[in-house]
Amino acid sequence: MPTPLVYMLCGLTGSGKTVYAKRLEAEGCVRLSIDEVVQDRHGRHGIDYPAHHYPRLYDEAVTEIDRRLVELLEAGRSVVLDHGLWERSNRDRYKRLVEAHGGRWRIFYFKAEPEVLRRRLAERNRRTDANALTVTEDMLTDFLGRFEAPSGEGEVVLDQLSD
């Protein structure tokens, strides 16, 4: 049996991760999405549950995704982790988890300038699906400040130059 591969998608909200993940899913990878787990279990952010509950619900979803990832790796399945992985420590944690359960990983960094993100988010903010959490300008500014772009981690950079 071939060694399962985990595609670790790294990038800010609106950078194209989910679109790419769905293509890999169509090719046979199992797609794991934090946002979809939260919505499936609790509904829409700020509508079906108060926005301030999101950090707790996010943590619960991460626990569920981690458990499912281990199950899939042990079954020999390749996975696309549709998750921002904004912090190096989080990417490192997933690398260790994948390797501990017999898999190998690749980081795909969806590099996008703020203006590209703003255009994409303006369109996305009109949707209501799980992959369309509304992002305000203040939120985007906060996200940009907290994001740790991968560098020297073996990442493949996918420049998102336009829509």
Domain containing 114 — which CATH number?
Answer: 3.40.50.300
Range of the domain at 115: 5-160
- Answer yes or no: are the C-beta atoms of 115 and 99 closer than 8 Å: no
pLDDT at 30: 98
- Sign of the torsion angle spanned by Cα atoms 24, 29, 35, 36: positive
Euclidean distance between CA atoms 77 and 74, whole angstroms: 8
Euclidean distance between CA atoms 71 and 75, whole angstroms: 6
H or E segment to which residue 66 belongs: helix 54-74
The total number of structural domains in the chain stands at 1
Intervals of the chain under pLDDT 70 = 125, 127-134, 162-163
H or E segment to which residue 60 belongs: helix 54-74
pLDDT at 123: 76
pLDDT at 136: 76
pTM: 0.86
- Answer yes or no: are the C-beta atoms of 11 and 110 closer than 8 Å: yes
pLDDT in tens, 83-120: 889 999 999 999 999 999 999 999 999 999 988 888 88
